[in-house]
Amino acid sequence: MTDTTAQPAEPARVRVHGLEKSFGDQHVLRGIDFEARRGTSTVLLGPSGSGKTTVLRSLNVLETPEAGVIGIDDVEIDFARLPAGKAGRKESARLRAQSGMVFQAHNLFPHRTVLENVVEGPVVAQRRPREEAVADARTLLDQVGLGDRADAYPFQLSGGQQQRVGIARALALKPRAVLFDEPTSALDPELVGEVLAVIKDLAAEGWTMVIVTHEIRFAQQVADQVLFLDGGVIVEQGTSAQVIGDPQQDRTRRFLSRIR
Ligand code: ADP
C-alpha cells in the first residue's frame, strides 16, 4: 500500500506565557497563558474582537506582542527582551518557521497551477530541491483529496477545494505546528464540511494544531483543549467536554447559547 499521508516531521509543544498586546491605546491581549501538548489540537473560542486572531498571529509572529513568551519546541522568544532591528527580525523568523498558518482566505497565486502553488514555498523560501518539493506536494494534495487536480488553476476549483490547497501549501513548509484562522468562515455552508474533514484527519495524524473557529460541533470533535477568550483574557479552559459541554463561567455560557 502506498503511504499517501504526510506525517508531521515531529509535532511540537507550544507554550504561551504572559502575552500582552496593544494596538494603539486598545489593550487587546491581557496576559494569555496556555500550553498545547505535542500532537494535540487547541481550539480558541470567543466573541468577535476577543483577541483570538491576535493570539494566533502572535504565534506565527505576524504580530509582535509587547510582552510575554512564546515557545514552539526549543525556539522561544521573550518579547519584552526581543532586540530591535536585524537581530530581532532573525529571532522572529526562526520562531515563525516553526508554524504554518492557514488563513480565512487562501490567497493562492491565480496564474499558477495547484501544484505550483504548493511547490512555491519549499522551493523559493526554503530552497529545497524542486523534485523533492514536487513529490511532497503530490503527497500532500492526495492527502487533502486533490491529487487529481494538481494541474488545475485556482479559478477552476470550488472555495472548499481552494482552501484545501491552502492547507497543503501550509503543510508543504514542514511546520512543527499548524495554525488555522477561521479556515471555513469565508466558505459557502455546503463547502465547510470537506475542509473540516481534512483538519480532522490532520488531528488524527498527530499534528499539533491551534484553531480559531466558530464551528462548535467541529470544535467538540477535534479539540483536545478548548480556550474561551473574552476581552483579551482566557476566561475558561479545559477539555471540550468541560468548556463546551459544561461551561462554568457566565460569559462562556452566554457565548455558547448565542452561537448554538
Ligand atoms: P477575534 O479574532 O477574537 O475576533 P482579534 O484578535 O481579531 O479578535 O481582534 C481583537 C481586537 O484587536 C479587535 O478590537 C480588533 O479590532 C483589534 N485589532 C486587531 N488587529 C488590529 C490591527 N492590526 N490594528 C488595530 N486593531 C486591531
Full-model pTM? 0.94
Quote the ipTM score.
Answer: 0.98
Residue located nearest, by CA, to atom 15 of ligand 1: 49
pLDDT at 25 over 60: yes
Banded pLDDT at 7 (limits 50, 70, 90)? low
Counting from 1 in the atom list of ligand 1, the atom nearest the Cα of 51 is: 6
Q: In what order do the strands lie in the sheet with 177-181?
A: 99-102, 177-181, 208-212, 41-45, 225-230, 233-238
pLDDT at 9 over 80: no
Residue located nearest, by CA, to atom 22 of ligand 1: 23
Predicted pLDDT at 2: 43
Banded pLDDT at 6 (limits 50, 70, 90)? low
The residue to mutate among 25, 32, 54, having the most atoms of ligand 1 within 8 angstroms of its beta carbon, is 54
CB-ligand 1 contact for 50 (6 Å cutoff) = yes
CB-ligand 1 contact for 65 (6 Å cutoff) = no
CB 74 within 8 A of CB 97: no
CB-ligand 1 contact for 51 (6 Å cutoff) = yes
Predicted pLDDT at 260: 75
CB-ligand 1 contact for 18 (6 Å cutoff) = no
Residue 204 to residue 156: CA distance in whole angstroms: 30
Banded pLDDT at 172 (limits 50, 70, 90)? very high
Residue located nearest, by CA, to atom 23 of ligand 1: 23
Question: Where are the chain's structural domains?
Answer: 104-174
pLDDT at 109 over 80: yes
Q: What is the mean pLDDT of the chain?
A: 94
CB-ligand 1 contact for 49 (6 Å cutoff) = yes
pLDDT at 5 over 70: no
CB-ligand 1 contact for 53 (6 Å cutoff) = yes
Q: What is the pLDDT of residues 198-237, one digit of tens each?
A: 999 999 999 999 999 999 999 999 999 999 999 999 999 9
Residue located nearest, by CA, to atom 27 of ligand 1: 23
* List of residues 6+ apart from 144 with CB closer than 8 A: 164, 165, 167, 168, 198
The residue to mutate among 20, 22, 23, having the most atoms of ligand 1 within 8 angstroms of its beta carbon, is 23
